[in-house]
Amino acid sequence: MKKVIVIFFISIIHLFASVNEELVNIYENIFSDLFVGQSKINVYVGDKHYQDILYGSEKINIVSDINKASICIASTKQEIEFILKKKKDIAIFCTTQKFIYDYDEIIGAFYWTKGRQQLLFIRSRMDKYYMHLPKDYDNFIIDEL
Amino acid sequence: MKTRLIYIILMFVCLLSEGFSENIEQLVNQYNQNNALSNKTIDANRGHLVLFTRDDLESMQAKRLRDVFKSMPFMYYHENRYNLPDPFTSGGYEPYRSSFIRIYIDGVEITQGWAGSGLVIYGDINLDFIDHIEFYYSLPSFENSSESSYMNIFLYTKNSCRDNGSNINLTYGSRGYNSQTFSYADTKDGVSYMFNFAHTDAKRAKIDNGTDTPLNRNFDETLLFGYIKTDKHTFHIQYINKDTHSLTGGSLDATPIKDEIDYETIHLDYSFKFNNYWKMIASYDRMRVDFDLLDDNILMISNQKNKTSFDGYSIHNTYSAELIYKRNFDKYLFTAGLKGRIKKVVKLSRYDMDQKVEMPFDQETLSSAFMQDQYILSDDSLLSAGIEFVHIDRNGGVDDDDFIISRLGYIYTKNLFEYKAYLFKTQFALEPSTRVVLCKGDYKTIKPQSTYGFTQEFAYHMSKKHDLRLLLLYFTDKDSLMNINVNRENREKVNYYMASFDYKYNINLYNKIYFNMYYAKYTNIYGIDELKDHSGYIKIFNKIGRFNVYNEFTYRSNNLDDWKSYIDWTSAVSIDINPRMSLSFKGVNILDKAKASPILRYDVSGGVPKMMSPLMISPIDRQFLISLEYSF
């Protein structure tokens, strides 16, 4: 019986872990491809939920000082406003679709729409930050909004 | 030593599954597949599953439930002579046959009470607010069923976090068919809410009945749906107004002069989780039916007394409540509950006679208690056993019923192989409206049907690419309600033998093929000695660049039509114009050869009714649609 419970818990932990790890893996891939050559990318994360998920990532270093960040992750309007107040013209990666139309600093987003997560980058905004992505991302890049 | 070995194997599997490097598109798609809402709602103990995921529904451009229901094995979409979804209709004069199938939205049953299962109206519901659909064959686990059934359709709504914001969809199609939907969903401070509006003006193909006035089955439907959810509370509200032309209406020879039947339904439900173990659900369903029927002969509606017209309305309410206790004890998952349901005719009134029709039998009350246990036999097998006691109380001197429903289940999963089996006994009472309309003077003493069933499922998952499944179902009805004359003293026994084979080939994340082939044999159903059915489908999902392409070929054939072959080819193409907008094209029943079934008719002009050649009608119109979807 003990064995059944142990296996059950390991499976459950693995299930939840793998869902979060998949998300971490996606963010690690995105930032590694945006900042080629950096072994660990400094990221400011405004959202507590994403802080928890990305904490412990081998490729992402969560920083509390926006000035030390290469890019910021934001989910709400307040977070975006806060980031821009601290540092104008920093690149922001958003987790919500609706704000990408309002702020030119948002270079891309990974957001829920129509029941699934969608990845989107805006080339004209990335160019401003001299950011480029490999060909793998072509399906997710639009020239401008 | 053994435990340590299992640890090592598990850790190795964990590491292995995370070790592969994939490109970003594969990672995102894999993430979406692994996080689909359907992964959270599927319950293996509910029966044998046929799943339509969000991806499937979108690729299929499924706008209404019929779009997915039409290709189901054995029990598939069909309409009766009143233009209502009724898969089990015989084509005869019964008001409704399909209360063996029950329908749920977010786990709460929708019912039309006096008229029967919620399928009456929801059997072809607009799917704009639906995320995914689970069809289950076999008697369901008792925590899900309020009334007996052997097929259950679970519709799950979109999640307000995942479908945040507004969405508009406009559809235009053949004959002027048009549909407009709007939805808005959001989550704030732990409260999720969604609102959906859908309007459909369904202009459908007319049916030639040999007169200058072909049969009409157009309908105009307005649907409002909303929910509010928190961790503990869930509240749903649904309103449907469906104005229909009712095909043959009450006309015996299928030549109605007026054929309008309008339905208005309201559904409210509230569920509350007291804690991890206790849960309650309370729901209210109201249905108003307005009739405006006229024929040159006597109408096939009860209480008509030589009348050729019926201009009136009925209102009936259903109140349901259940209290459920669910708890894990060591190797046991124990569930018990109490359920109650009251079906009441509030009013039946005739305008043309300026009177309220008195009905001595106007209330049915169901009360039931159940308990069920799932027991872990070993690491890879699970045994479940359940029993339910049901008492049905009826007024107006109509017989009461006492049922005992039981089910024994076994699930075995090892490596890539799965086996599932259920042995059950269930009982069905004739629905009140059918009882009164079809049985007239004999309606007080209708024997219930007893069904015994044994169902099995063998599944084999060859890597991630190939899924094979064989489904074997056997039911036998004692005193079957699938007889033509349900008021007979000794009704015939009906047997069902069904075998279905499924093969899914996942070529990659974007391209897949579903194949199904089934054989069914029914004895004595509707008085037919033997009805044999060979059918199947191929569904092909492709993604070519920004285009999603879907093709479906459903083949149907049975011995009643001398094995005539029916083929429904449905094809859909959609393209994402930009992140907010998509455009799609769809052709349904492109060859206009979808399965048609007989609707019976009698010539009553000479006094003595004479059977005429039946009308062969397909519920699936040939139709071409264009849709535009915009999210913001």
Taking the Cβ of residue B189 and every Cβ of chain A, the question of whether any pair is shorter than 8 Å is answered with: no
Please report residues of B whose CB lies closer than 8 A to that of A142. Answer: 578-579
Nearest to B53 by CA among B483, B354, B504, B519: B504
Please report residues of B whose CB lies closer than 8 A to that of A30. Answer: 24
Residues 6 or more apart whose CB falls under 8 angstroms from that of A15 comprise none
What local confidence, expressed as pLDDT, does residue B2 receive? 46
pLDDT, tens digit, for every residue of B447-500? 899 999 999 999 999 877 899 999 999 999 998 988 877 777 778 899 999 999
d(CA A114, CA B563): 43
Number of domains in chain A: 1
d(CA B145, CA B84): 23
d(CA B292, CA B104): 30
HEC letters along A79-126:
HHHHHHHHCCCCCEEECCCHHHHCCCCEEEEEEEECCEEEEEEEHHHH
pLDDT, tens digit, for every residue of B214-263? 999 999 999 999 999 999 999 999 999 999 999 998 898 999 999 999 99
Greater confidence, B14 or B233?
A: B233
Residue among A6, A26, A115 whose CB faces B28 most closely: A26
Residue among A26, A98, A120 whose CB faces B31 most closely: A26
What local confidence, expressed as pLDDT, does residue B192 receive? 95
Strand, coil or helix: A135: helix
Residue type, A121: F
Please report residues of B whose CB lies closer than 8 A to that of A14. Answer: 10, 14
Please report residues of A whose CB lies closer than 8 A to that of B58. Answer: 114
Greater confidence, B2 or B237?
A: B237
pLDDT, tens digit, for every residue of B52-65? 999 999 999 999 99
Compute how many other C-beta atoms are within 10 angstroms of the C-beta atom of residue A84.
Answer: 17
Please report residues of A whose CB lies closer than 8 A to that of B6. Answer: 3, 6-7
pLDDT, tens digit, for every residue of B288-323? 999 999 988 888 765 556 678 888 999 999 999 999
Please report residues of A whose CB lies closer than 8 A to that of B32. Answer: 116-117
Question: Mean pLDDT across the stretch A118-130?
Answer: 92
In terms of Cβ atoms closer than 10 Å to its own Cβ (0-12, 13-18, 19+), residue B190 is: exposed
CA dihedral B245, B249, B253, B254 (to 10 degrees): 20
Domain B36-631 has CATH 2.40.170.20: yes
Contact between B579 and A97 using a beta-carbon 8 Å cutoff: yes
* Reported ipTM: 0.86
The Cα of A67 is separated from the nearest Cα of chain B by a number of Å equal to: 28
Mean pLDDT of chain B, nearest integer = 90
Residue among A3, A25, A113 whose CB faces B3 most closely: A3
d(CA A71, CA B313): 65
d(CA B587, CA B67): 11
The Cα of B160 is separated from the nearest Cα of chain A by a number of Å equal to: 9
Please report residues of A whose CB lies closer than 8 A to that of B10. Answer: 7, 10-11, 14
Greater confidence, A1 or A145?
A: A145
What's this model's pTM, rounded to 2 decimal places? 0.90
Taking the Cβ of residue B18 and every Cβ of chain A, the question of whether any pair is shorter than 8 Å is answered with: yes
Please report residues of B whose CB lies closer than 8 A to that of A120. Answer: 579
**DSSP code at position B176:** G
What local confidence, expressed as pLDDT, does residue A7 receive? 42
Question: Mean pLDDT across the stretch B14-24?
Answer: 51
Mean pLDDT of chain A, nearest integer = 84
Best residue in B2, B26, B31 for a mutation probing chain A (most A CBs within 10 Å): B31
The Cα of A84 is separated from the nearest Cα of chain B by a number of Å equal to: 24
Taking the Cβ of residue B32 and every Cβ of chain A, the question of whether any pair is shorter than 8 Å is answered with: yes
Nearest chain A residue to B184 by CA distance is A114
Task: CATH number of the domain at A129, please.
Answer: 3.40.50
What local confidence, expressed as pLDDT, does residue B95 receive? 85
Contact between B10 and A7 using a beta-carbon 8 Å cutoff: yes
Please report residues of A whose CB lies closer than 8 A to that of B18. Answer: 18, 21, 25
Contact between B27 and A29 using a beta-carbon 8 Å cutoff: yes
pLDDT, tens digit, for every residue of B72-126? 999 999 999 999 999 999 888 888 889 999 999 999 999 998 888 999 999 999 9
Please report residues of B whose CB lies closer than 8 A to that of A19. Answer: 34-35
Contact between A22 and B54 using a beta-carbon 8 Å cutoff: no
Contact between A3 and B6 using a beta-carbon 8 Å cutoff: yes
Best residue in B18, B28, B188, B377 for a mutation probing chain A (most A CBs within 10 Å): B28
Contact between B28 and A4 using a beta-carbon 8 Å cutoff: no
Given a cut of 80, is residue A19 above it in pLDDT? no
What local confidence, expressed as pLDDT, does residue A56 receive? 81
Task: Write out residues 406-465 of B within 8 Å (CB-CB) of A.
Answer: none
The Cα of A32 is separated from the nearest Cα of chain B by a number of Å equal to: 11
Taking the Cβ of residue B631 and every Cβ of chain A, the question of whether any pair is shorter than 8 Å is answered with: yes
Query: A9: pLDDT confidence band, cut at 50, 70 and 90?
Result: very low
The Cα of A141 is separated from the nearest Cα of chain B by a number of Å equal to: 10
Given a cut of 60, is residue B17 above it in pLDDT? no
Contact between B17 and A113 using a beta-carbon 8 Å cutoff: no
Taking the Cβ of residue A13 and every Cβ of chain B, the question of whether any pair is shorter than 8 Å is answered with: no
How open is the CA angle B408-B409-B415, to the nearest 5 degrees?
160
Contact between B23 and A21 using a beta-carbon 8 Å cutoff: no
On the CB side of B89, CA atoms within 13 Å amount to 27
pLDDT, tens digit, for every residue of A67-92? 999 999 999 899 999 999 999 889 99
d(CA B323, CA B517): 40
Range of the domain at A81: 2-142
What local confidence, expressed as pLDDT, does residue B445 receive? 86
Nearest chain B residue to A98 by CA distance is B632
Contact between A115 and B34 using a beta-carbon 8 Å cutoff: no
